[in-house]
Amino acid sequence: MNFASDNWAGASPQINAALAEHGGGFAAAYGSSDLDEKARQKIGEIFEKDVSVLFVPTGTAANSLAAALIMKPGGIVLAHRESHMIEDECGAPELLSGGGRLVGVDGIDGKIDPVALAQVLKRHDPPFLHYGRPVGMSITQATEVGTVYRVREIAALTDLAATSKLPVHMDGARFANAIVRLDKTPAELTWKAGIDFVSFGASKNGCWCAEALVIFDRSLQEEAEYLRKRAGHLFSKSRFVAAQYLAWLENDLWLDLARHANSMAEELARRISQSGRVKLAWECEANSVFVYMEEETSTQMRKAGARFYPWHLPAGHTPPGDVPESCGLFRLVTSFATTPAEIESFSRLLERS
Amino acid sequence: MNFASDNWAGASPQINAALAEHGGGFAAAYGSSDLDEKARQKIGEIFEKDVSVLFVPTGTAANSLAAALIMKPGGIVLAHRESHMIEDECGAPELLSGGGRLVGVDGIDGKIDPVALAQVLKRHDPPFLHYGRPVGMSITQATEVGTVYRVREIAALTDLAATSKLPVHMDGARFANAIVRLDKTPAELTWKAGIDFVSFGASKNGCWCAEALVIFDRSLQEEAEYLRKRAGHLFSKSRFVAAQYLAWLENDLWLDLARHANSMAEELARRISQSGRVKLAWECEANSVFVYMEEETSTQMRKAGARFYPWHLPAGHTPPGDVPESCGLFRLVTSFATTPAEIESFSRLLERS
Amino acid sequence: MNFASDNWAGASPQINAALAEHGGGFAAAYGSSDLDEKARQKIGEIFEKDVSVLFVPTGTAANSLAAALIMKPGGIVLAHRESHMIEDECGAPELLSGGGRLVGVDGIDGKIDPVALAQVLKRHDPPFLHYGRPVGMSITQATEVGTVYRVREIAALTDLAATSKLPVHMDGARFANAIVRLDKTPAELTWKAGIDFVSFGASKNGCWCAEALVIFDRSLQEEAEYLRKRAGHLFSKSRFVAAQYLAWLENDLWLDLARHANSMAEELARRISQSGRVKLAWECEANSVFVYMEEETSTQMRKAGARFYPWHLPAGHTPPGDVPESCGLFRLVTSFATTPAEIESFSRLLERS
Amino acid sequence: MNFASDNWAGASPQINAALAEHGGGFAAAYGSSDLDEKARQKIGEIFEKDVSVLFVPTGTAANSLAAALIMKPGGIVLAHRESHMIEDECGAPELLSGGGRLVGVDGIDGKIDPVALAQVLKRHDPPFLHYGRPVGMSITQATEVGTVYRVREIAALTDLAATSKLPVHMDGARFANAIVRLDKTPAELTWKAGIDFVSFGASKNGCWCAEALVIFDRSLQEEAEYLRKRAGHLFSKSRFVAAQYLAWLENDLWLDLARHANSMAEELARRISQSGRVKLAWECEANSVFVYMEEETSTQMRKAGARFYPWHLPAGHTPPGDVPESCGLFRLVTSFATTPAEIESFSRLLERS
């Protein structure tokens, strides 16, 4: 009954097989191998574009590399107030961009509100030297709270950003989960909707360690390479990431894994809602289910072996009136490795708790 | 005939087997799993000490983390003029330590000269605000030029550092190669000889991606964890590094792999010296062979498929009188994956070139 | 009719006289002169404590130096959401602290709300590696919106900070204005109320360029000196700052200048309130008056030569119901150089506009 | 008998008079006043070019701002091994450029040797990702050891830099001393000879605190303004620097003051050479005299009230054979405030010591 996080799951068998397959023989280090190039081309096919791909060790590294690429002195990257970059990266984007800042923008359901964005942009038009200046924006797809931006929602934000000439980054740590939810192509969700860079994460969805910044403007690659190296993020045996990506993208494995995770989340949401013991905080659109649960129940559940975490109430979010004060907000995450049996066990335990 | 670098080799079968074995099931992320703890304990056994172990993605990350741990405002870390930290990390130690600096100290054979070190320390005693102040030292074992510090050589440097109260880091990207060469224990080569931190590298010696900073003073662990996270160096599925270390250290695999690499280097040095076509630049003590070779010969060799790189003449190093000016300096690196057949092919090609 | 800012005023005659007096002869550079020491002692007398004093070029430099002194990796300094450090220093505290961050805390009237502070501290107890950790707090006295913390208000915040072992900095760019308003001693408003560092600003109150970080724990001086030098903030002919401070503190000149500025602000507030053409946004407690004024009126006033700036509506602040939407918020600042005649002219102009 | 440094002198009477003159009335802050613009234009006249001028508090700030303006990720600024930027700024250029590095280039007499520069540039052609890449060069005029680059020497270096497309900065902390020595115009010594930025220092030559970065390409001004603000280097009452520059440049005061300092140095060199008690280390070309002196003599001199500092033997510099080992190297600096009487006293004391 492990719903702690999708990074508590290990690697899928296909990923391990790929590593074993590519372990022998010599190959150029630091991203110059044939396998690296093959993975780059495969990712380009997926995104229907000739892209630059920089493998990095973590999602934080990918996001920080994007922030660094768009940073200028006095620069501010706008992101959702509760985004991973602002709340979960311990200052990495700021440090690795050589002194940049992040500023939070409000919005419910983990999505930047276009009205709030417009207000922030207006405040900085013209930019005021003493405050600093917006130099880019980052949005998260799927969001930190398990919701998914629709294409038109992305476009509304990137249109606003474009009026201030701000490049836009997408934190796609759970990009696959958004793809399968929306039934759109990677291109439609990114560059066709005004996105300039994507942190294209695979680790949370069946790989050991496979993160990449995908850049749609290849002229930025050289700068990005210096930034990656200077951050200590350039793998020597880079083909081990390439091998994971190739296996992950082969025959739509990545979509199958994400589809499974999403359907498990949907099933989990359905089952536990029925129990009457929890209340969904908002609709589950990807692989995270957020619920209000009695603190006491949660304690019992965890004692009984269920794994999941409490979550901070998002700013501006008010629990519905029928949620007692004795309830807390909790996050349950599914992954490629979640089984129906686990959901069954969890649901039964909940009914008994 | 690949002698380009030990990071052109892939992973040994045991490493892949370990990854496959630990891929299933759930485990705590971010270094908190049982496997992570097991690996920490195993590394502690190897070093005969209760150590803190921080897994990181690259050798540069490990070295930079050490630099950051000992950094202070205006601080300078002393390292060999041609060390990896100074010449091959693109400013990562400086950036990741929040603005530190590295200063090169001279010495032949890739080793810091104690006399040169004493002069540098004297210059900074007392420290001069305008210049900045030494805050630590880093030495490399085995060195960048394939030589190995003896225990008394290490102690001579750490004794000097101690007079200025400087903590000492060891860049052990090729630590295993030094261990098997010297037939000393990891403890003897490190904390018993005055070393405070070791970048304990496994990637160059049979792993995919397994680097760790080993810290002998556990009270520093909390600071180190913040530094690692803030650099984007904290793996989510950290157990994949733990699994590699455990397999690598099991039954002395790491020493066997290093012993093989070293003996291949020795054999390579022997064979090509006999050819009369090259001259050893200095004695090979680990898994790198440095030779003077006619530039034309090297071009032919590389055209014929041999892989190896030219090298910058170390500062203060003069080629012997019998080396013609038409010769360049070249590095040949062996690894766990080098075969006698490759050496045979290379030697024959050399004789024909 | 210049109410743009107190830094639009020049220097008082006493300050210029002091510079002329100390311009001749030789004196040790970089803060080591007798005059520097004399100024340090004088400041110590004022604060009734043996203090360290670091002269720096700007208020931003002083605040950043304080932030750097208390920074740790992953560290966060808490400050009011609309504080100068967060809104007007363009990322200097972050850069100069080697990668720190600032996090805004809410509160009306420019003062941190103890309840909001407690919530933030609770969220970080225990600190969460991924978010980062609070390492200090900064409060502003007088605040950016012309209000003044009472001693008990300061103590309430520093008590909370102490429970989390956070050192507390006071941005005293307008410290003198607070002193004369409250009729308390510098000691009562600072270290006796739990403050550890003060940016003790003189530039806005009659000096050309005289800013200092005053540190109550002298053991921090050495670190602070390295931080100051590394930021390019160490004056060579430091005695020119010392001379300004000595003249400024002599015979309570600093208090007289501030008292004048405050009384001019009070008079300005009184006069323009009477006009019925503006509405005070909140009570003026130091040398800034904030008013609601018709945008059209403000345009006319400025065309007629009056100098003042619009201001952003503070977060959480709602204009009273009787303020029409066509009104904006404006700031009027007085200084040692403001004359009753200016206020008279401004008031008459307002009545005519 | 004060020859400690030119920054031990105070300010000339004309500078103090200018401050007194401009102390009254209101003027726009942060560099936007009429006086600031007037000073910018005056500096433009001096350099025969429409320049951007950024006032900053220290020479270190000016140099760091230049470094930051030309920095890129992984970037290296080349400077003389014993330049102020490398040896006397405590890491400020590195920190303030968001993580850049400086690399020392050899050369005697404090001047970069073109042959050494060519070697460094060759090594980085093409740049090697792992090392980093040169992004600019800085030369010092007059140098740290009191010598002066001839125009053709500057051009030789800037020509080499241009082949690698490196912008070139001149650290002109003692620019005036070089101007009067060479009898060339500021334009001839700078942009006409390939210089892109000048740290145009006035503090060491009669001002209290007047440093400026002069930029010949005005399109860089906006970036420079953000960099300056983010470093805490933007003066609020900026006119106090403008006033100093205007007085300093008026009627060639700056050249008169520098001419006096240089002639005092020449006289000092002449007088003490005659004594036979010291030996000039190299020719004095500006306002610093470097001599070999018996350590014992120096101790006696200083006990008797003479002020001067020992100096590190420059790398690659060997004392002539007739200098006993018991001698040390010492620096004597003159300034606008040095009097013939002081030289007389010093010389007599030397003869007696």
The pLDDT value given to residue C353: 83
Contact check, Cβ <8 Å, B101/D123 = no
The residues on D that touch A, with CB distances below 8 Å, are 30, 68, 72-74, 97-99, 129-130, 132-133, 223, 225-227, 229-230, 234
Domain match, B98 and B193 both: yes
Å between B199 CA and nearest CA of chain A: 13
For B91, the closest of D89, D101, D123 (CB atoms) is D101
Q: What kind and span of H or E run contains A138?
A: strand A133-140
pTM (global) more than 0.90: yes
Nearest C-alpha in C relative to D19: C16
Instruction: Give me C241's structure tokens.
Output: 């700052």
- What's the half-sphere exposure (Cβ side, CA atoms, 13 Å) at C304? 16
Q: Best mutation site among D208, D223, D234, D248 for testing chain C: the one with the most C CBs within 10 Å?
A: D208
For C8, the closest of D23, D29, D92 (CB atoms) is D29
Considering its fold, how many domains does chain D have in total?
2
What CATH number did the domain enclosing C297 receive? 3.90.1150.10
Phi-psi region of C94 (alpha: psi -120 to 50; beta: other; left: phi over 0): alpha
Determine the Cα–Cα distance for residues C12 and B182; give it in Å rounded to an integer.
Answer: 74
Q: Omega of the bond prior to D127 within 30 degrees of 0, cis? A: no
Chains that touch C (3 or more CB pairs under 8 A): A, B, D
Domain stops at, among B192, B220, B253: B253
Determine the Cα–Cα distance for residues D167 and D43; give it in Å rounded to an integer.
Answer: 21
Per-residue pLDDT band at A315 (split at 50, 70, 90): confident
Low-confidence ranges of chain C (pLDDT < 70): none
The pLDDT value given to residue D101: 98
The pLDDT value given to residue C315: 85
Residue D102, domain extent:
11-252
Domain match, C151 and C41 both: yes
User: Could you tell me if residue B8 is inside a domain?
Assistant: no
Q: Residue C98: its chain B contacts at CB < 8 A?
A: 73, 97-99
Q: What is the mean pLDDT of each run of 10 residues along chain B (353 residues)?
A: 95 97 96 97 98 98 98 98 98 96 96 98 95 98 98 98 98 98 97 98 98 98 98 98 98 98 97 93 96 96 96 90 94 98 96 87
The pLDDT value given to residue B292: 97
For range D303-309, the mean pLDDT: 96
Chains that touch B (3 or more CB pairs under 8 A): A, C, D
Per-residue pLDDT band at A96 (split at 50, 70, 90): very high
The 10s digit of each residue's pLDDT in B281-331 is 999 999 999 999 999 999 999 999 999 999 999 988 889 889 999 999 999
Q: Best mutation site among C30, C70, C129 for testing chain B: the one with the most B CBs within 10 Å?
A: C129
Contact check, Cβ <8 Å, D26/C9 = yes
User: Could you tell me if residue A6 is inside a domain?
Assistant: no
Domain stops at, among A225, A251, A277: A251
Q: Residue D15: its chain C contacts at CB < 8 A?
A: 23
In terms of C-beta density within 10 A (0-12 exposed, 13-18 middle, 19 or more buried), how is residue A345 classed? middle
User: Could you tell me if residue A1 is inside a domain?
Assistant: no
User: Residue D258 pLDDT > 90, yes or no?
Assistant: yes
- Helix (H/G/I), strand (E/B), else coil: D288: strand
Domain match, B54 and B143 both: yes
Determine the Cα–Cα distance for residues C265 and D125; give it in Å rounded to an integer.
Answer: 64
Determine the Cα–Cα distance for residues D229 and C59; give it in Å rounded to an integer.
Answer: 11
Domain match, C151 and C32 both: yes
Phi-psi region of C288 (alpha: psi -120 to 50; beta: other; left: phi over 0): beta
Å between A66 CA and nearest CA of chain D: 13
Domain match, B237 and B272 both: no
Q: Terminus-to-terminus CA distance in chain B, angstroms?
A: 14
Average pLDDT taken over every residue of chain C? 97
Q: Residue D233: its chain C contacts at CB < 8 A?
A: 57-58, 61, 232-233
Q: Residue A27: its chain B contacts at CB < 8 A?
A: 8, 10
Q: What order of strands is seen across the sheet that includes strand A327-333?
A: A278-280, A288-294, A327-333, A309-310
Å between A271 CA and nearest CA of chain B: 22
The 10s digit of each residue's pLDDT in D220-256 is 999 999 999 999 999 999 999 999 999 999 999 999 9
User: Could you tell me if residue C329 is inside a domain?
Assistant: yes
Å between C98 CA and nearest CA of chain B: 4
Contact check, Cβ <8 Å, B101/D94 = yes
Domain match, A101 and A203 both: yes
The pLDDT value given to residue C129: 96
The 10s digit of each residue's pLDDT in C151-186 is 999 999 999 999 999 999 999 999 999 999 999 999
For range A155-162, the mean pLDDT: 98
Domain match, A200 and A300 both: no
Domain match, C186 and C139 both: yes
Query: How many angstroms from the chain centroid is the CA of residue C74?
Result: 26
Cα distances (Å, whole numbers) of residue D254 to C21, C237, D148, D250, D339:
21, 18, 18, 8, 17
Q: Which amino acid is at D309?
A: Y
What CATH number did the domain enclosing D173 receive? 3.40.640.10
User: Could you tell me if residue D168 is inside a domain?
Assistant: yes
User: Could you tell me if residue C6 is inside a domain?
Assistant: no
For A237, the closest of B10, B16, B233 (CB atoms) is B10
Average pLDDT taken over every residue of chain D? 97
User: Could you tell me if residue D4 is inside a domain?
Assistant: no
Return the number of CB contacts < 8 Å for A and C: 45
Sequence-distant (6+) residues with CB within 8 A of A263 are none
The 10s digit of each residue's pLDDT in A39-79 is 999 999 999 999 999 999 999 999 999 999 999 999 999 99
Nearest C-alpha in D relative to A230: D74
For range D328-338, the mean pLDDT: 97
The 10s digit of each residue's pLDDT in D60-104 is 999 999 999 999 999 999 999 999 999 999 999 999 999 999 999
For range A161-187, the mean pLDDT: 98
- Evaluate whether D100 touches D68 at the Cβ level (below 8 Å): yes
Pick the closest to residue D175 from D307, D63, D57, D251 (CA basis): D63
User: Residue D353 pLDDT > 90, yes or no?
Assistant: no
Contact check, Cβ <8 Å, A92/B232 = yes
- Helix (H/G/I), strand (E/B), else coil: A249: helix
Domain match, D219 and D331 both: no
Pick the closest to residue C16 from C202, C207, C239 (CA basis): C207
User: Could you tell me if residue C7 is inside a domain?
Assistant: no
The pLDDT value given to residue D315: 85
Å between D91 CA and nearest CA of chain B: 6
Domain match, B214 and B280 both: no
pLDDT over 70 percentage in chain D:
100
- Evaluate whether D48 touches D193 at the Cβ level (below 8 Å): no
The residues on B that touch C, with CB distances below 8 Å, are 30, 68, 72-74, 97-99, 129-130, 132-133, 223, 225-227, 229-230, 234
Domain stops at, among D228, D252, D276: D252
| ipTM of this complex | 0.97
Domain match, C259 and C325 both: yes
Domain match, B249 and B263 both: no
Contact check, Cβ <8 Å, C129/A89 = no
Å between B81 CA and nearest CA of chain D: 12
In terms of C-beta density within 10 A (0-12 exposed, 13-18 middle, 19 or more buried), how is residue A300 classed? middle
- Evaluate whether B95 touches A96 at the Cβ level (below 8 Å): yes
